[in-house]
Structure 1
Amino acid sequence: MSIPSWNKKSKRQSNQEQKINYLPLRLLPPAFCLLTLAAAPIPKATAQIPLLPPLQPANNINNQVNNQLVSDWVYLDGRPLFAIAASKSNLPERLQNIRQNLRDITHNYLQVSTNAVNVNIKNANGLPVIYVNDQYLMTITYEDAGQGNPLTLANQISNTLQKDLSLAKQERQTQFLIQQSQIAAAGVVTMLVLSWGLRRWQKRLSHPFTKFISAKSPVNAAITTQLNQQQQQHLQEVKKRLFQLGQAGIWGSGSFFILGLFPYTRALQAGILAIAQIPIKLTIVALGTYLAVRFTYALIDHFTSTIVSSGALLTPETSERLQLRVSTFSGVTKSIATIVCGGTGILLALISLGIDVVPLLAGAGLVGVAVSLASQNLIKDAINGFLIILEDQYALGDVISVGNVGGLVENLNLRMTQVRDSEGRLITIPNSEIKVVANLSSRWSRADLTVPVSYQADVNEALDLIETVALEMNQEPKWQRQILEKPNVLGIEQFGDYGLSIRVWIKTQPLKQWEVAREYRRRLKVALDEAGIHIPVPQQVNWITDIQQLNSQGSGT
């Protein structure tokens, strides 16, 4: 069948499409490929070494990549019509030409008053060619048909074009646009109502939490109360983010629905899906990871609160210590949960991007072995940190001394310990370097005092006075809560150069020894002054012999 003449652009398109009608060698049967290779002439240099295959240059690899068969869709008003296929290097140009032809056909069709769509299928070099209203659209190739018949595919595309072009013209009628505008207005009202209802529900759920905080937040809150507050805070954060996600879903899905109502904006739907697909996936993974971390925190607090509230571990003697241990265990466990959830989130993000994570995991295992060999100190830090926490050597809030440094433990994890000394310096100590540690606040503390007394004072009176001051201080309610046992006056510790040293022990609550000792010294100084017992001061006695006196007289001094 002869083909009528068309514009030069259509001729170039037909010629370009006819060039790819020949099947590449990789698509032919294996037997035919072997016969072809056998019959092909072998170069002289290669024929001398028949056992070695000819080497492929790098440009052959690039040609194989460019000849890879890919496909893409052709759209009309945001609706997918049909897919075309071509080599990777030829598909962009062919897709652009077909889309431009479809735009020209659609524009001309919408300008005329008739609703009829005339789609003709003609034959050119054994391939079907589609014309719409006597305008060239495309040539169906074997790559487009895949395993099927090109003529069958052409008939399917013809039916699709007739239906979608008629629908495109119908959707641009005034009556249809008015009807779609009414639907869009109803959609906006629905979004407003749903958003308002979700907001009211959020306020209703957050109201009991506010009452809980205001009613159960004393200064000296119990451990269980603190854990329950933390649990409620994490759950409240999860609810807040879920409500925010719900608001975004309402307005996002509603806006997406309204865009699909009109033929002029429907193409934006496909654009949004194409552009925002990856950001939406990554946002969902990030938000899901954040919610998982917060929910895990709430579970940790709930589990810890359940153990503590059972009463098996909480006694008057261990309440302070248990509070420090709970803070330490909770912090370390939450850090581990954050690492696990973060790693899982990264893997899910890679999967959502279409990246195969199996080779990455295998490579990460090899890298982990290499890193573990190169960073043995980190492994030692983690093991020693785990033993420190497990054996309760010290916890957050303890005062420790490690070697020549010491202070209040502000941060403790599996890798390092950070302490704040008396000068305010933050000292970081790797856990592997902690061999011997002195905990000054584990379970109870002691004020170790040495009271100097002059040799001229009455020792028995001084001992009675020192003990009386300690006992009177122990009877007061303020100090009775901090002093655990009756103060113990050990007696005379030693004879010094300036006077006697009397030693006193006062057992106190953890970290209260310095406060009790300062108050006791103040009271003892007042009592000693009232009793006339002096605290010795440095004194010096000079002895003069007779020889020194004669020498002084002889020299006229």
Structure 2
Amino acid sequence: MTSCIRIDGRCVFTIVSPESDLAGRVNIIQTSLNDIKDNYLKQSDAQLDFNTPKENNERVVDVCINANSSQPCDDDNPSKQRLLTITQGIANFYGMTPESTANLIISRVEEKLLQAKQQRQSDYLIRQGIISVILLIAIPILGYLLRRWSRASYKAKQNLKSANDPIKSPFSTYLNQRKSWNIQDIKHRLLQISQVIIWPGGPLIILGLFPQTRTIQLIIITAIRLPLRVVLVAIGTYCIIRLIYSLINNLSSKIVRSQFVLSPRANKRLQLRINTISQVSKSVVAILLILIGFLFSLSAIGVNTAPFLAGAGIIGLALSFSSQSFIKDALNGFLIIFEDQYAVGDVISLNQVSGLVENINLRITQIRDAEGSLITIPNSEVRIVANLSSQWSRADINIPLSYDTNLEQALTVITYTATKMSQDNQWQQLILDEPQILGVEKFSDRGIIIRVWIRTEPLKQWEVSREFRRRLQIALTNAGIPLTPPQQLWLSKGMNGMVRDRKVAKDREIKKDSHN
């Protein structure tokens, strides 16, 4: 283990010792160096002298403070003080022989002691005092400016957030706005952090300007060092996540712009897919970076992460057996997104559930059904999916007519109504092709069933169906062709036979009663 020996809070040299002996040895050497410093500073004409004799086959460093420079630094010198013993561990740390290490430490101690005396001169203290006053004036001014910049950044972020509407804005514009929002959010957070740092940080800097108060600065820094490291790792992780979010949005925007040669339907489908993939990518990136940031935080506070990683590997292996369903969910979720089986905004039917896809990630799919219930389905349960909004949809309409209806007239009215609706300015953008009048589909208790197919934009089949039925009912009524309810036909022969059988049965009951 290693530790620094300091003068006025500044590290002079490093010692190496076993962990069990380190604290005691540091205390002895630091106390000895403090005594040497105090004696040296008390005497204005003091001269430093050093000696490096050998004792018990180890090099030692002695320091003498002499008023008379001709007096040697030996056992007869009353000012001699033992500073430290150069162990082989200290020499190995510096990569030198014990003699060279002793000379290096002597040069550093002499330099720092001379510097300590110079920094206690009046001209130096006056200069540092002027710097302190400037800092005390600059801190509130800078704090005020940072507060104003932070407010302006927050307003800019809110404006970008209100403009982030994928329905009202083109998708590429929406992605660019999201990218700008992420960058603006980083700026805003950094400005907030700067406001928090500047008020305690300014006085902490002032404490370091004077040799008499540097020890207080060191104590404060030592106390907040570990929490500060964790906070810095957290801030760095957050900024990296936001930057990667911005890069994902930028890449997605470029992909969308490069595909504008596609049809509007294909572009819309591509936008849905990119939106889903980008959301999943952001989730995966956030989880990975948070885990990495957690490991860095442990390392920053001095925790050995190697055993932690080994233990995490064993735990992960155990969990992989107990969480096979989760792994299946993740693999199937990736395939659903990669193969574009469905995306956020699609209407699908799976596992006897139908509704709008509101959320999809590697583990689950969430569907909002017609009653407003949010249904969550594990991705491993997704096997057969009916996508009702992929590329295009179809309005499938069955029209019941009476058996005595003039079919040619009815088909003419239906064809005319469908064609006229497909040419209407309000509906022609929703209807993709000419309506198909398939003709007689079947005979049923409702009468003759005429089937009509109308190809529409995704999710517009129900809206088109309702409007077509409204128009067709009016057209058929004007043509005198009724839409029939369920019908039943009774045969007269069967009816007469049934009445006759009932009459015979009744006569038999009357005769039986008379005999009784």
Q: TM-score, normalised by structure 2?
A: 0.75
Equivalence for 1:533? 482
Equivalence for 1:510? 458
Gaps of 5+ in 1: 1-69
Q: Which residue of the other structure, out of 406, 417, 430, is the alignment partner of 1:482?
A: 430
CA 128–184 in structure 1, closer or farther in 2 if over 3 Å, else same:
closer
Indicate the larger mover: 144-153 or 370-379: 144-153
The 1-side partners of 2:484 and 2:292 are apart by: 68
Equivalence for 2:362? 414
* 1:187 paired to 2:135: yes
Task: Count matched residues.
Answer: 483
CA 354–473 in structure 1, closer or farther in 2 if over 3 Å, else same:
same
Q: How far did 1:444 drift?
A: 0.5
Aligned partner of 1:547: which letter?
Answer: D
* 1:398 paired to 2:398: no
Equivalence for 1:228? 176
The 1-side partners of 2:236 and 2:375 are apart by: 36
Q: How far did 1:524 drift?
A: 3.2
CA 116–450 in structure 1, closer or farther in 2 if over 3 Å, else same:
same
* 1:546 paired to 2:477: no
Equivalence for 2:248? 300
The 2-side partners of 1:392 and 1:161 are apart by: 69
Equivalence for 1:34? none
The 2-side partners of 1:422 and 1:375 are apart by: 33
Equivalence for 2:408? 460
Partner SS state of residue 262, structure 1: coil
Gaps of 5+ in 2: 67-77, 92-97, 511-516
Indicate the larger mover: 246-255 or 403-412: 246-255
Equivalence for 1:493? 441
Q: TM-score, normalised by structure 1?
A: 0.70
CA contact (8 A) 2:7 2:112 kept: no
Aligned partner of 2:501: which letter?
Answer: I
CA 136–409 in structure 1, closer or farther in 2 if over 3 Å, else same:
farther
Partner SS state of residue 504, structure 1: strand
* 1:377 paired to 2:308: no
Q: How far did 1:508 drift?
A: 1.0
Q: How far did 1:300 drift?
A: 1.7
The 2-side partners of 1:275 and 1:550 are apart by: 111
CA contact (8 A) 2:37 2:113 kept: no
CA 385–86 in structure 1, closer or farther in 2 if over 3 Å, else same:
closer
- Aligned pairs (5 A) from 1:138-217: 140-141=84-85, 146-147=90-91, 148=98, 159=110, 163=114, 166=117, 170=120, 179-191=127-139
Partner SS state of residue 326, structure 2: helix
Q: How far did 1:273 drift?
A: 2.7
The 1-side partners of 2:408 and 2:272 are apart by: 43
CA contact (8 A) 2:86 2:102 kept: no
CA 435–464 in structure 1, closer or farther in 2 if over 3 Å, else same:
same
Q: How far did 1:186 drift?
A: 1.3
CA contact (8 A) 2:329 2:378 kept: yes
Q: How far did 1:510 drift?
A: 0.6
The 1-side partners of 2:286 and 2:150 are apart by: 27
CA 96–496 in structure 1, closer or farther in 2 if over 3 Å, else same:
same
The 1-side partners of 2:489 and 2:214 are apart by: 104
Equivalence for 2:223? 275
Aligned partner of 2:485: which letter?
Answer: P
Q: How far did 1:509 drift?
A: 0.8
CA contact (8 A) 1:402 1:436 kept: yes
The 2-side partners of 1:215 and 1:103 are apart by: 64
What's the Cα RMSD here? 4.5
Partner SS state of residue 375, structure 2: strand
* 1:320 paired to 2:274: no
Partner SS state of residue 480, structure 1: coil
